[in-house]
Structure 1
């Protein structure tokens, strides 16, 4: 019996996945890595959910991965369950926000980087420790980190394995916003609320295009969705009538 779990809380249009592993500073166990893609599949398919928040319980985001069976870990390489979970999170259709308090290290940093945005409390600490363990950071994970913070900052994190504080994380782009811990929950609620009110068509298309997953045919499909859905007409009408827009578009099943 274990208390380690990923708990899901849904409030309105916002789903929150909470990493919980008491006594291990919310380290991700093999079962939790396997559970995450399943949870994400369900939340992605739920039309009521417009934004996903990933956070940790009790003031810690995630202190890393439970290394478990070392031989199994070494044999898996880039095909590990952690990389599979990370890729599923990175490819989640809807916007994702990491709300980071305390330690965000190893597997925790891997998950935070896979989110679209990272909002950090001033007590957050980020680290990428494979060099301390004699491991090679997975290729997809490394490339995602480089795209986020640039080659030099990524090398610093990877070469040293040192923890960086929230101020440095903000400077290098590892965190998008930094604020006092007491203000984090309110900021996350405000940010996700604003995203949830926007046109999902605009937001989901923007995410896909920014992430480089939309070729010319797909971009043309998105413009076709704008014409067919009436989202733009509703948005313009709401602007002129000085009222909140009533956006109704939802991602088609399987997209």
Structure 2
């Protein structure tokens, strides 16, 4: 049986996907595989059980990158096969059909940064460092960095980070939109949990539809994106939460509905 390096637990509607490979949470192939498996398990759970997910590496480091010792030994044919697997494991995180928050402590570099990019939101410690330093090893990001980073911060800023391999501090990451909130190091997990709890008891299928429309729309042209939105918009009219929300609005005004994730 393989060593458990990634796990998850759920409490009060919020799940924590936890990486546990000290000291730096290097993302070996085993860790990558277990991240993908944990993400798929969380995706399969009903929103009534898990409404949102926090991705966390502990109070010291989020993930300092791939396991370079392991990667150095890999041949070209091996990486041809493995690259698709890496991306699929991270894609499983990006496709969790509920809000996700990365709680970034210490370093989120290389594949660690790419993992954070898979989340909907990123809360970072004030002393956190993020970046895509792969070029300094003579390679490029391979777990989504060349695609997700420019979509988040724009192509010029993404090229700056990827071409130079430089790390950015938390305040710059906030300024360029790489992270969404900066807090004291000891408050990172609590702040991420607080963001996640906003979605507990919310209209789960509307949140799922909104995430799907935004993420899929970013991958295509405007007209196709609008068609995706129209389909998702119409789809939520089949939910009980839509009836609940509109009835509550008519009877009590906005923001007072209690949803059942149905």
Within 5 Å, which residues of 2 pair with 1:23-42?
Answer: 23=23, 25-42=24-41
| Residue pairs, 1:1-255, within 5 angstroms | 5-23=5-23, 25-47=24-46, 48-67=49-68, 68-72=70-74, 74-75=76-77, 76-77=79-80, 79-138=83-142, 140-213=144-217, 218-239=228-249, 240-241=251-252, 244-250=256-262
| C-alpha displacement of 1:73 | 6.0
Could you say what the CA RMSD is over the residues aligned between the two structures, in angstroms? Answer: 2.5
Cα distance, 1:19 vs. partner? 1.0
Q: Is the 8 A contact 1:119 1:175 kept in 2?
A: yes
Give the whole-Å Cα distance in 1 for the aligned partners of 2:202 and 2:245.
9
Contact in 1 for aligned 2:100/2:196 (Cα 8 Å): no
* TM-score, with structure 1 as normaliser: 0.87
Is the partner of 1:72 in helix, strand or coil?
A: coil
Aligned residues: 249
Moved more, 236-245 or 189-198: 236-245
CA-CA distance at 1:71 after TM superposition: 4.9
Structure 1 pair 191–231 and aligned structure 2 pair: CA distance change class (3 A): same
User: Which stretch shifts more, 139-148 or 224-233?
Assistant: 224-233
Query: Conserved in 1, the CA contact under 8 Å of 2:109 and 2:130?
Result: yes
Q: Which moved more, 1:198-207 or 1:62-71?
A: 62-71
Distance 1:225 1:5, change over 3 A: same
* Shift in CA distance, 15/130, structure 1 to aligned 2, threshold 3 Å: same
Cα distance in 1 for residues equivalent to 2:45 and 2:155? 37
The unaligned stretches of length 5 or more in structure 1 are 251-255
Q: Is the 8 A contact 1:4 1:22 kept in 2?
A: no
Indicate if the aligned counterparts of 1:100 and 1:121 stay in contact, CA closer than 8 A: yes
- For structure 2, the residue ranges without an aligned partner over 5 or more in a row are 218-223
Name segments (4+ residues, structure 1) moved above 4 Å: 1-4, 213-218
| Structure 2 contact 55–102 (Cα < 8 Å) conserved | yes
Please give the TM-score of this superposition, normalised by the length of structure 2: 0.85
Query: By how many angstroms is 1:220 displaced?
Result: 4.3
Larger mean CA deviation between 170-179 and 186-195 belongs to 186-195
* SS, match of residue 74 in structure 2: helix
